[in-house]
Structure 1
Amino acid sequence: MTSKYENQHAQWEKEADQVTERFPERKSLFETSSHITVERLYSPNEIDKTYMDKLGFPGQYPYTRGIQPTMYRSRYWTMRQYAGFGSAKETNERFRYLLDQGQTGLSVAFDLPTQIGYDSDDPMAEGEVGKVGVAIDSLADMETLFDQIPLDKVSTSMTINAPASVLLCMYIAVGEKQGVPKEKLTGTIQNDILKEYIARGTYIYPPKPSMRIITDIFAYCQEHLPRFNTISISGYHIREAGSTAVQELAFTIANGMAYVDAALASGLDIDQFAPRLAFFFNAHNQFFEEVAKFRAARRIWAKIMKEHYQAQNPKSWKLRFHTQTGGSTLTAQQPDNNIVRVAIQALSAVMGGTQSLHTNSRDEALALPTEESARIALRTQQIIAHESGVADTVDPLAGSYYVEKLTDNMEKEVTDYLQQISDLGGAVQAIEEGFMQREIHYAAYQSQKAIEQREEIIVGMNQFKIEEEVNEELLRVDEKLEKQQIKKTQSVRTERDAIAVEQALNRIRKASQQTTINLMPLILDAVKAYATVGEICNVLRNEYGEYTGM
């Protein structure tokens, strides 16, 4: 028997088709950025009746509706603005400014030489010192970076991967100098090398030794830094490289599984290390797709940890994540439009239940942010938190026919990708075979083609253009900085105990040849002796070699 609902739905479809004869729809096919078809209407029939299996309550498995029972009613997300440029002194001033403006967590951007393990006076660093982040060569720089910033009261995220062990040890050493014991330090190191091979490129060593260093960090932090997140498994850079939302989520979760596998193979207990795993996602312009992505991410990870890995601790099932708004979505043309884009993206992250958030600045496509632009970006978060009302109830979009169907679709598409990656032998093997890279490249090509053919409208860039003057109010890093940083680093080398440094580096060299010795205590000793980032990384370069790509 046909239900009343079905009769009325059929009648509505007929009326809608009649309307489109007079007023055709804007497109023959509506779809998300991941090419999931968007139907004309979503209704109760679209939602699976198994509410408790797929949704449940916030703070309960499978965490679709959030990992905490009360979410932002108890505490807002951490407002963690990513910052770093020039010298440690300049970046320290920006950090303190942002904290004074109400930021609630720090996020460090390192310059390119630091990210790939070169000191500022290395020929490879020429022209890049302090340009895309802060230059950190030795513990002396780290001490300046966190001057007058109490590490027992502020959590710090560090976007560092190949040399993550070195920078974490520097952070520990600064904490000790402040009188803050290791067990009280809070924050996150990105420490996600697999996505570097896929999308970003700031790797140093081949995959196998890189994974060894990562599991050493897991083990060390498990014992000594129980409140520190040992990895931020990052989809952000995968999305920035041109992936779809589905690919971002699928490849990130596949990488997460690879880290879990490596940790288990090294002898670690899943319920000891898994609660400190964290994720890092992108937020793009398609609001509902992004909300669905975040909700699907929690559900997928919870099922994997509980059902596949048999983790017993509910904390091991919870996917905690940081979000950054999409840098690649911002335009050099009409940069004030980016304020609106960032607001939409930030709202999707909050509606999706993020634990911390960075909002990009309006001048992202042109330069590092000015102080004014950084303040506007922070104010965007504060307005969402304090004025919009969206944080007053948990998972406010739950029950939306569209959002729930899109969450289900996202889960299915991601699960299909995960099966393909599993069939290839897992994330590491898929990376080595170039599978993920090819998928991202094709998605990026399709997106760029749609923009160039104006099938996808970018306001102010390929439509609604205006004549514009060159913006002179951009942040520019003083070229003198490089010489000053080189001088400081060379001064550190002159003043330190050279014998102590040589002995510490030799101990790292010998330990790197034995997989049973954790490198972290030895790296910490070298850092405290004022060995530089480049010196420590060069020891490991000589032992492990360098990764040169496909």
Structure 2
Amino acid sequence: MDDLKKAYEEWQKKYQEKCPDKDEDFVTISGEPIKSLYTPLDLEGHNYLEKLGFPGEYPFTRGIHYNMYRGKVWTFRQFSGFATAKETNERYKMLLAKGQTGLSVAFDMPTIMGYDSDHPRAEGEVGRCGVAIDSLADMEELFDGIPLDKVSTSMTINGPAAVLWAMYIACAEKQGVPSEKLSGTIQNDILKEYIAQKSWIFPPEPSMRIITDIFAYGAKHVPRWNTISISGYHIREAGATAVQELAFTLADGFAYVEAGIKAGLDVDEFAPRLSFFFNSHMDFFEEIAKFRAARRIWARRMKEKYGAKNPRSWLLRFHTQTAGCSLTAQQPENNIVRTAFEALAAVLGGTQSLHTNSMDEVLALPTEKAVTIALRTQQIIAHETGVINTIDPLGGSYYVEALTDKMEEEAEKYFKKIEELGGVIEAINKGFFQQEIADAAYRYQQAVERKKRIIVGVNEYVEEDEKIDIPILKIDPEVEERQKRKLKSLRATRDNEKVEIALRELKDAARGTDNLMPYILNAVRVYATEGEIIQSLKEVFGEYKEKPIF
């Protein structure tokens, strides 16, 4: 190492003489300076078994499975939902026919916020940014002809996650599929809603109770289901750096583990079904390092701090979506290229499932052609590039390993700060996360405006008088009226006495300490609507209002 250090210093001197520059002029998207060259000196004292180990073995830096993609490629998912359940069902069947291997449900804003389609606050939003789901009847139509024991389904829903999950379970029952055979994920990550996405309903304390109720119910009755997808994706979309996404997401994960333990659950009872959801942005190597660091941090914390004994509790399993915030309205075909590189970074980082954004998503919900191109992008990576042939092919790269270590080091600083603030919920109440993300977003925008960071087609290589000439998916306003009529018909034909009893029993349970999932399921089965169930819980739990930060 002494010889190497001497040789490197001589080379560095020549480098600066011939082409002087500063590391701070070359930074990751997160703003971390990058050296001109990485060597074994950057990994001095690096213990291979401690830092890396082998795939499928602690600390899982190189992957959570022994054979990774040599055994099975990641799950191909396309986040999809629009208009009514009928139209979305048709899109799902098209995607499955084209080779998609898992479904991912996008809900509209009224559903996400816990409102029925005929609520005044739903006006103009029904079916616009996702599919409208008001009741079990809609869920049945959404999965009509799709056997739920044969497909894995992910549902991006948070505040009302328990209700939509109950609808899915009840829908499967209607198909004759027991809950023990269901596999999939509900996002169910309310902490990141307070931090970044802002689609909350209840205050933090009752929200955490509902989540731990879901943990307990899932462990007993739906054992193949991931009962939470702890999401860094929306934190990153809000403007966070890669380090912030890593640190804030894992901090949320630790908070959920602590909540489960506090609720009386054995950590090994629920931890194996915790999953994560990350963003894959444009800085290729930074993203790969982020995924590798996340696995290592999670494994160590679960084993050493929380005392998990089941090796499955140590595994950080994650879904990845390419960065929606990296897409541009200008020259939208460029988004195909951006998405391909982001998807490749996710694969090289060891993701378990992947969604690739469509080129037109910055303009509207994707057309059938655009979503097919996005799906084909994954298939080309899997079957034509050769990246699945060996496990963690970038492992051992001086740069990647140094960057992975740096990501871990910076994340640990954030963990310490969050702990000093009193934990995740206290940090939320104090506006810590919100301010950190806002500051990072501002710095990034400044870099773009000053051309310190080039965005092709936006601040450089701009085409004058550009005309965007790609098809756009438009939602017919009649969709909203159809959904309202369907809802009116449901209320007129169901057994409303049973609905009233189920909602009353749910409110009584919410005032006590019983697990709420059986009561929510009873309400769903008699066709109580999402809005009615959520309103019943609001009457007990209240609603959350964010404190303004100045």
- Is 1:97 paired with 2:71? no
* Contact map agreement 2:331 2:468 (CA 8 A) in 1: no
The partner residue of 1:479 within 477, 480, 483 is: 477
Cα deviation for residue 76 of structure 1 reads 0.2
Deviations 1:356-405 (A, max 9, x none): 00000001111100000000000000000000000111000000000000
Q: Does structure 1 conserve the Cα–Cα contact (< 8 Å) formed by 2:330 and 2:468?
A: no
Which letter maps to 1:18? Answer: E
Aligned pairs for 1:314-329 within 5 A? 314-329=311-326
* One of 120, 124, 142 as aligned partner of 2:121: 124
Partners of 1:441 and 1:6 in 2: how far apart? 41
Partner of 2:76: 79
Distance 1:18 1:319 in 2: 45
Query: What does 1:390-539 correspond to in 2, within 5 Å?
Result: 390-466=387-463, 467-471=465-469, 473-515=471-513, 517-539=514-536
* Matching of residues 291-440 of structure 1 within 5 Å: 291-440=288-437
Q: What residue is the counterpart of 1:18 in the other structure?
A: 17
CA contact (8 A) 2:85 2:133 kept: yes
For structure 2, which runs of at least 5 residues remain unmatched after alignment? none
Name which of 111, 129, 144 aligns with 1:147: 144
Cα distance between partner residues in 2 of 1:28 and 1:514: 57
Q: Report the equivalent of 2:537.
A: 540
Letter in structure 2 aligned against 1:476 = K
Residue type at the aligned position of 2:8: H
Does residue 110 (structure 1) correspond to residue 118 (structure 2)? The answer is: no
> In the comparison of the two structures, how many residue pairs are matched?
545
Contact kept in structure 2, 1:234 and 1:281, CA below 8 Å = yes
Q: Secondary structure at the match of 1:79?
A: strand
SS at match of 2:206: helix
In the TM superposition, residue 70 of structure 1 has moved relative to its aligned partner by 0.5
Q: Is the 8 A contact 1:31 1:38 kept in 2?
A: yes
TM-score computed with the length of structure 2 as normaliser: 0.98
Distance 2:377 2:284 in 1: 16
For residues 270-320 of structure 1, what are the alpha-carbon distances to aligned partners after superposition, in whole Å with 9 as ceiling and x for unaligned?
Answer: 001000000000000000000000000000001110111011111101100
Provide the secondary structure at the position in 1 that maps to 2:304. Answer: helix
In 1: Cα distance, 2:433 partner to 2:6 partner:
45
Does residue 1:261 correspond to 2:253, yes or no?
no
Partner of 1:5: 4
1:46 aligns with 2:45: no
Deviation readout 1:247-291 (Å, 9 max, x if unpaired): 001001111111111111110000010000000000000000000
| Alignment partners' CA distance in 2, 1:202 and 1:535 | 18
Q: After superposition, what is the alpha-carbon deviation per residue over 1:46-91, rounded to whole angstroms, capped at 9, x for unaligned?
A: 1243100000000100000000010000000001110000000000
SS of aligned partner of 1:295 = helix
Q: Secondary structure at the match of 1:446?
A: helix
State the distance in 2 between where 1:286 and 1:28 align.
16
1:32 alignment partner AA: T
The separation in 2 between residues aligned to 1:498 and 1:350, in whole angstroms, is 50
Q: Does 1:58 align with 2:91?
A: no
1:6 offset after TM fit, Å?
Answer: 2.4
Q: Is the 8 A contact 1:36 1:409 kept in 2?
A: no
CA separation of 1:28 and 1:281: change in aligned 2, threshold 3 A: closer
Q: Partners in 2 of 1:382 and 1:507 — Cα distance?
A: 48
Q: Which moved more, 1:467-476 or 1:90-99?
A: 467-476
- Contact map agreement 2:88 2:131 (CA 8 A) in 1: yes
Q: Within 1, Cα distance between the matches of 2:413 and 2:506?
A: 42
Paired residue secondary structure (2:25): coil
Query: For the structure 1 residues 300 and 481, does the alpha-carbon distance in structure 2 shift closer, same or farther, using more than 3 Å as the test?
Result: same
Instruction: Indicate if the aligned counterparts of 1:85 and 1:134 stay in contact, CA closer than 8 A.
Output: yes
Matched, 1:32 2:60: no
Shift, 1:31, TM fit: 1.4
* Per-residue deviation, 1:37: 1.6
Deviation at 1:451, TM superposition (A): 0.7
Q: Equivalent residue of 1:293, what SS?
A: helix
Q: CA deviation digits over 1:143-175, x for unaligned, max 9?
A: 000011010010000000011000001000111
Distance (Å, rounded) in 1 between the aligned partners of 2:307 and 2:285: 32
Residues 164-219 of structure 1 deviation map (CA, whole Å, 9 limit, x = unaligned): 00000100011111111100000000000000001101110000000010011001
Q: Partner letter of residue 313 of structure 1? A: N
For residues 535 and 486 of structure 1, the distance between their equivalents in structure 2, rounded to whole angstroms, comes to: 15
**Cα distance in 2 for residues equivalent to 1:345 and 1:520:** 37
Q: Residue 111 of structure 1 contacts residue 133 of structure 1 at CA under 8 Å; is this kept in 2? A: yes
User: Residue deviations 1:230-263, cap 9 Å, x none?
Assistant: 0000000000000000000100111111111111
Q: In the TM superposition, what is the alpha-carbon distance from 1:472 to its structure 2 partner?
A: 5.5
Inter-partner Cα distance in structure 2 for 1:8 and 1:261: 50
- 1:395-436 per-position Cα deviation (integer Å, ceiling 9, x unaligned): 000000000000000000000000100111111111111101
User: Which deviates more, 31-40 or 285-294?
Assistant: 31-40
Match of 1:549 among 533, 546, 550: 546
Cα separation, partners in 2 of 1:120 and 1:45, compared to 1, 3 Å: same
In 2: Cα distance, 1:539 partner to 1:472 partner: 45
User: Residue type matched to 1:521 in 2?
Assistant: P
Question: Aligned partners of 2:3, 2:218: CA distance in 1, in Å?
Answer: 60
In the alignment, is residue 88 of structure 1 matched against residue 74 of structure 2? no
RMSD of aligned residue pairs (Cα, Å):
1.0
Distance apart, 1:542 and its partner CA:
1.1
CA distance in 2, matches of 1:277, 1:425: 23
Q: Deviations over 1:481-533 (max 9, x none)?
A: 00000000110111100100000000001000002x01101111110100000
The whole-number CA distance in structure 2 between the counterparts of 1:3 and 1:327 is 46
Give yes or no for contact 1:288–1:348 (8 Å, CA) kept in 2: yes
Residue 11 of structure 1 aligns to which amino acid in structure 2?
Answer: E
Which of 153, 158, 162 matches 2:159? 162
1:202 matched to 2:199: yes
1:26 and 1:94 map into 2 onto residues whose CA distance is 51
State the alpha-carbon separation in 2 of the partners of residues 45 and 95 from structure 1. Answer: 51
Kindly provide the amino acid, as one letter, of the partner of residue 231 in structure 2.
S
Distance 1:534 1:293 in 2: 38
Q: C-alpha distance in 1, partners of 2:212/2:340?
A: 37
CA contact (8 A) 2:23 2:35 kept: no
Aligned to 1:173: 170
How far apart are the structure 2 equivalents of 1:7 and 1:254?
A: 41
**Counterparts of 1:7 and 1:110, CA distance in 2:** 59
Report the 3-state secondary structure (helix = DSSP H, G, I; strand = E; otherwise coil) of the residue aligned with 1:156: strand
